[in-house]
Structure formats: C-alpha cells, structure tokens
Amino acid sequence: MPGTTTLGIRSATLSVPAGSPPTVALSGTATQASISVPTSINFGSQLAGGAGGSPQPIVITNSSSGAFAGALTIASVAKSGGNPGDFALVTDACTGASTPPGATCSVQVAFKPLQSGNCGANGGSRTGTLILNDNAPGSPHSIPLSGTAMDFCIASSPGQAVVEPIVAGQSATYLLELDSSAGLTGTASLSCSVPAQLLGSCSISTTPATNPPVAQISSGSPGQFKVVVTTTAPGGTVVVNRARPGTAMRPGGRLIVWIAIPWLVVLMTWMVGRRRSGYAKVAQVGALLLACAIAMAACGGGGGGTPADPPPPGTTAGTYVITLTATVNLAGQPSVTRTFPLSLTVQ
C-alpha cells in the first residue's frame, strides 16, 4: 500500500516508507541507580602514633526512585589524598553488595594519625579521600576526610651543652623538655632506665617536683625537666661484714656436753676431798679446761665474721644508652608513649 503506516507497539514505533522494506525503531529508558554520600567527614583531634579514635560510620544511600530506579552496586572502596595512611577502613558492607532504591549500606573509617621520625613533624591537619567506584552516573564518587594530629616529642632544652665524656664515679646531667604541637595540652609521666653494664642509675626531677615525675606540657610552654645519670668508681663501694644471726650448736655438740658433764661433776667432787693435795691443783686446772671445752662445743666454736664482699669493678669505659620514656594520657584517648635515647660516654 503506498504511503507511510505507523503502528504503535508499546514504546516502539514501526515506520514503513513507501517502496521500502519495513524499519523498526525502539525507544525507552533503562533502570538507573543514584548515589548520595556525605559531603565530608571530620574526625576531630587524635594523638599521633596512638590507637586512634572510635570508627565512624559513613552511610551511602541509593537515592534513585520512580519506575526506572535501579540497584546500586559498588565495585570497590579505596583511600587516596594527602595522608591516606592516617585513615583506616575498618569495615566495608558496600563493596560487592546490591543496594536497592531507597536503601543504604555503610563503611566504617577510623582516624589513626601516624607518628613521624622527626620531632614535631607529626602535628597539624591530615586529609584523605574515600573513593567509591560504583554504577551510578559520575562514578567514581569521593568523600573528603579530615582530622587533626596532636603530637609531642622529647628534645634537648635550648642552650643545653653537649655532655662531655666522664670518668667512672662521676655523674652526667641532661636538661630536656617536652615539645607539643596542634594544641596538645596535658601531662606526661616520665621514667628512665640504664643498662645493667653501666653499674649506675638515673633519676628525673621536674619543676614543680613530683613523685613519680610528671611534666606539664602545652603548645606554648614546653615541659622542662632534668635527668641525672650516675656511674660507679672502681672499688667505690665496699660491703662491710654483715651481722650474723645467732649461731647454732655444731653437729655433735650436744652429745659432747652430755658426756662431759658427769666427768666434770666427778672431778669437782674429788677435788673437794683433796684440797691440799698437789694432784688436786692439777685436777683443778683440768676441770677448768674441760669446762671451756664444753662451752666451745655448745657454742659451735669460735665465731668469725662473714667475709666482706669483694669491691665492685666500677663502670667500665665505653658508650652507654640511657632510655628515657614519656607517656601522655588524654581524657577519652588511649595513652601514647615516646622514647628518647641519651648517650653517655665513660672514659
């Protein structure tokens, strides 16, 4: 039939031009997901090098609706940005899941700022980005992350002279301070330890004095303190004879006493009967010696004092490392510990 015939088949249109084979053109709209994410997440302040704060949930919504709304699928969740290592992806319930229209899935992220090897280089703003690869228009989608890393470190006080080598028996003094950044204010518990080979000790004093030592720190006022390390001179300490507790009777002493006493009684009786005899004088001397022997047997013999301990060798020449430790505790956060090595050379 000449002309053009149009047939309506749902959303399709069938056009048949005159003198040409029929041509079918189909038009329609496929289902499509939509995504809604937070514009940014701020984690507040945390101590650098600590366990970090509690994970925060980040909710991702499939905001598609209507007759052509589709399921949201996320292929991966990744981190990028300036400091990606400071943000930990704790849980991920979105990757690989199919989220229907109007529903949500979530991931959890924690802020755990890392500690740097350079004193004072950890404090300040940290930033990161959470990248979502999904099937919604405009993929990948990003969520900005931010937080503030507070930090502290142990350093030598300005103007502190280099500790010269000392000889065994002398002490070395170190003037130190606790520096903080990014608004950190609080207290730090201090302690120190020396290697056993040093044959010495260390002590810490703060102003005001506290026991155990605790230093006050803030961004504008470093907490200053002093460490004194002592050494031992060769033979500098001698342990005198120690008092010995009561001495017990020697083995067999009781038997000697019980045998000797009857003989002593007989001898003394004979002496009384023969006062003027020369033999009585000899017996008198023998009785005295026998009494002494009994006394020595009962007491365990002559008592010598405990030998004196040998004098210590003293601190040997060498270089020693004293370990200084500072621990900061902030309300609502896990404690963070820093260590600082002090070098001591003994000639």
pLDDT tens-digit map of 237-282: 433 333 333 344 455 555 554 555 555 555 555 555 555 555 555 5
- Please identify which residue in the block is written with the tokens 């023969």: 274
What are the tens digits of pLDDT across the range 174-227? 999 998 888 888 899 999 999 999 999 999 999 889 999 999 888 778 889 999
What is the pTM assigned to this prediction? 0.65
Topology (CATH) of 35-151: Immunoglobulin-like (2.60.40)
Give CA–CA dist 206/95, Å, rounded: 53
Close Cβ partners of 234 (under 8 Å, ≥ 6 residues apart) = 168, 169, 311, 312, 313, 314
Give CA–CA dist 113/52, Å, rounded: 7
Q: Up-side HSE of residue 258: CA atoms within 13 Å toward CB?
A: 4
Enter the tokens of residue 106: 């979530």
DSSP lists the bridge partners of residue 252 as none
Q: Where do the domains of the chain lie?
A: 35-151, 157-236+314-346, 253-299
DSSP character string of 272-321: HHTTTSHHHHHHHHHHHHHHHHHHHHHHTSPPPPPPPPPPP--PPSEEEE
The CA distances from residue 320 to 123, 198, 200, 234, 317, in Å, are 31, 7, 11, 17, 9
Output the average pLDDT for the chain. Answer: 79
Topology (CATH) of 157-236+314-346: Immunoglobulin-like (2.60.40)
Give the pLDDT confidence score for residue 277 in this predicted structure: 54
Quickly state the pLDDT bin for 11 (edges 50, 70, 90): very low
Residue 116, classed as helix, strand or coil, is coil
Domains 35-151 and 157-236+314-346 fall in the same CATH topology: yes
Burial degree of 196 (CB within 10 A; 0-12, 13-18, 19+)? exposed
Quickly state the pLDDT bin for 321 (edges 50, 70, 90): very high
Give CA–CA dist 223/343, Å, rounded: 21
Quickly state the pLDDT bin for 16 (edges 50, 70, 90): very low
CA angle at residue 269 from 265 to 271, to 5 degrees?
A: 115
Quickly state the pLDDT bin for 146 (edges 50, 70, 90): very high
DSSP lists the bridge partners of residue 58 as 107
